[in-house]
Amino acid sequence: MFAATAASRLWAVWDEAMEAALASGAPDKFFAEQCAFNVALRARGVSFANQPAWCNWACNRAWPMINNAGQLVEPVFPHRPLGIVHMTGETKKGKHNLPVQGGGTEMRSLEYPGP
């Protein structure tokens, strides 16, 4: 997850890194845009601000917890509500056995219910 203004130099630097990645001759370019993005930030010095994990929770790293209000939250104290639930791989499919704050588990989807 990222955000940048239209005037950010990130876009030009990312474009250059992306062109280099695509021209590299590597047979697998599946992660080319992500690698180019990291090159822009780390190797080419585009400034950025890291955000805490609850801003973009990667469900393949740890299951979120369900709080008493039914929200998906960090599974560790202070159990902040998750800003973005990043579902990857098998975490996108079906329901999962998620821990519930205060004890127990609940089978549910990682998607937020609609209005």
What is the tens place of the pLDDT at every residue in 15-71?
999 999 889 887 888 788 888 998 999 899 888 888 899 999 999 899 999 999 999
- Residues 33 and 65 both lie in one domain: no
Q: Considering its fold, how many domains does the chain have in total?
A: 2
How far is 12 from 84, CA to CA, in rounded Å? 27
Query: Is the Cβ–Cβ distance between 15 and 40 less than 8 Å?
Result: no
Residue 32 lies in a domain: yes
How far is 25 from 28, CA to CA, in rounded Å? 9
Residue 65 exposed, middle or buried by CB count within 10 Å (0-12, 13-18, 19+): buried
Residue 66 lies in a domain: yes
- Residues 80 and 98 both lie in one domain: yes
Write down the mean pLDDT value for the chain.
89
- Residues 33 and 61 both lie in one domain: no
Q: Which domain holds residue 67?
A: 53-108
Rounded to two decimals, what is the model's pTM? 0.71
Q: Flag whether pLDDT at 105 surpasses 80.
A: yes
